[in-house]
């Protein structure tokens, strides 16, 4: 039944590739994978295979790959992706020796793939349970690990109709799961080779924090210089530098998120000297979206990051729009309060990335599948909102009581710090 479904899926992908550039990239990438492997595989090397579906799973697998690279140079690393959103962004990642798409999970593809690479060890990140690949790995006695996996009662493995497919879980040498519920659910299937190690993404977040960039433009935006010009409207009776009352960082925002926090800042008239500043790093950076944000902020002093200068003009701006990629994780350091977008759509983006900087984090209601959202809410460092009224009520408290911002922020930071260490536990368990 599984193999029939895979072939039907393969046919669907072939058809969809005629109409979608994203699907076309995946289709071509999977077909080219064997050529890539024949060209690049060193037959004398020992390969550790790491498979990540997309970019999020890559970030969870990254601490493992970089630790192997650093401590075990005798191994080479093969990194595979399923989705173009992972491969296209990380196809030049220097932490792996070979990077390619994973050919679709047919029996023929799985056999060809494993004959080419002969992995000595395999790591599948989070939700990756490819039936044929995993059964052949087990047949060949290749140690195979599920990393940062998380299980819920509604998954197919725990339904009456999913028992046959659930056998794939018994192909793993060991599971490194995120929580106790996952361990208990696996136990109902007779699977006990399980260790609760948490999520390697917290290790990655701490790593990103340690490597954060200093951003002079953002730093200058977040403070007000006092001018020596007697005609300047910012002249005061004292000299030096004055910071705004607060800096609000909105990361990976979508229009429904922007409608809420932009309206709040305008309604409360929070912009101006000695008040709050707003940094917006939208999830989609295209000209139409950037213009849409600017229209919502009409009448405010708005600057785009790529057009900003490190002078008095950026210091006088009310809003800084980040119109480029790769800066958000470093920008959170400048905030007093953060908002992580996506919670009014398919799901929230990277909460720990913001919380690591000890700032309270707002997010939307679509977060039930995100363990870190539930735990941050319980911890006090995360604030779920369902709309404008929820957001404005809590932000009013933050604006009026800066000590509350600090308290909630410390709780967020402690949450991330307390969950680091999964990579250490995994390496100890697998003997690396």
* Averaged pLDDT, groups of 10, the chain, 432 residues long: 66 64 69 91 96 92 96 97 88 95 92 96 94 96 97 91 89 97 96 96 92 91 58 38 82 97 96 89 94 96 90 85 93 96 92 96 94 94 97 96 96 95 96 87
Distance CA 201, CA 97 (A): 22
Q: Per the confidence metrics, is the pTM higher than 0.75? A: yes
pLDDT, position 234: 39
Which ranges of 268-401 would DSSP assign to H, the alpha helix?
Answer: 287-296, 312-316, 328-331, 351-355, 371-379, 388-400
Distance CA 235, CA 237 (A): 7
Distance CA 413, CA 409 (A): 6
Q: Are 53 and 81 in contact (CB under 8 A)?
A: yes
Q: Of 252, 233, 226, which is closest to residue 331 (Cα–Cα)?
A: 252
pLDDT, position 226: 44
For residue 320, list its beta bridge partners.
Answer: 279, 303
Token pair for residue 67? 């630790």
pLDDT, position 223: 79
Distance CA 359, CA 413 (A): 7
Distance CA 369, CA 371 (A): 6
pLDDT, position 248: 97
CA 85 to chain centre: 12
User: How would you class 139 by CB atoms within 10 Å of its CB: exposed for 0-12, middle for 13-18, buried for 19 or more?
Assistant: exposed
Which ranges of 95-158 would DSSP assign to H, the alpha helix?
Answer: 107-117, 131-139
């Amino acid at each position: 039944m599984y193999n029939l479904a895979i072939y039907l899926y393969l046919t669907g992908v072939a058809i969809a590739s005629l109409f979608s550039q994203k699907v076309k990239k995946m289709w071509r990438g999977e077909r080219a994978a064997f050529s890539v492997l024949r060209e690049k595989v060193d037959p004398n090397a020992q390969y550790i295979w790491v498979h990540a579906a997309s970019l999020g799973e890559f970030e969870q697998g990254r601490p493992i790959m970089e630790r192997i690279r650093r401590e075990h140079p005798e191994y080479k690393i093969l990194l595979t992706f399923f989705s173009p959103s992972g491969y296209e962004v990380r196809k030049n990642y220097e932490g792996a020796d070979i990077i390619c798409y994973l050919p679709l999970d047919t029996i023929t593809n799985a056999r060809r793939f494993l004959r080419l690479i002969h992995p000595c060890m395999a790591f599948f990140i989070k939700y990756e349970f490819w039936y044929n690949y995993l059964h052949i790995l087990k047949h060949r006695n290749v140690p195979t690990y599920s990393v940062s996996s998380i299980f819920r009662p509604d998954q197919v493995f725990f339904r009456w109709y999913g028992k046959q497919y659930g056998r794939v879980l018994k192909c793993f040498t060991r599971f490194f799961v995120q929580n106790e519920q996952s361990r208990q659910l696996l136990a109902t299937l007779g699977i006990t080779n399980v260790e609760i190690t948490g999520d390697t993404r917290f290790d990655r977040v701490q790593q990103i924090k340690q490597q954060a960039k200093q951003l002079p433009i953002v730093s200058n935006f977040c403070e007000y210089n006092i001018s020596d010009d007697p005609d300047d409207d910012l002249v005061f009776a004292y000299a030096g530098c004055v910071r705004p009352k607060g800096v609000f960082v909105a990361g990976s925002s979508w229009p429904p998120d922007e409608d809420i926090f932009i309206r709040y800042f305008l309604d409360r008239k929070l912009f101006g000297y000695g008040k709050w500043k707003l940094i917006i790093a939208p999830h989609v950076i295209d000209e139409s979206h950037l213009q849409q944000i600017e229209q919502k902020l009409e009448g405010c002093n708005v600057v785009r990051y790529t057009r900003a200068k490190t002078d008095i003009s950026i210091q006088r701006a009310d809003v800084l729009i980040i119109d480029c990629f790769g800066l958000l994780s470093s920008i959170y350091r400048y905030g007093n309060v953060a908002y992580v977008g996506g919670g009014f759509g398919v799901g929230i983006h990277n909460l720990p990335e913001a919380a690591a900087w000890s700032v309270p984090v707002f997010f939307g209601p679509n977060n039930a599948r995100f363990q870190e959202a539930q735990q941050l809410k319980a911890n006090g460092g995360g604030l779920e909102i369902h709309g404008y009224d929820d957001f404005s009520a809590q932000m009013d408290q933050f604006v009026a009581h800066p000590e509350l911002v600090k308290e909630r922020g410390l709780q967020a930071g402690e949450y991330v710090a307390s969950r680091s260490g999964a990579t250490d536990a995994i390496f100890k368990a697998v003997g690396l």
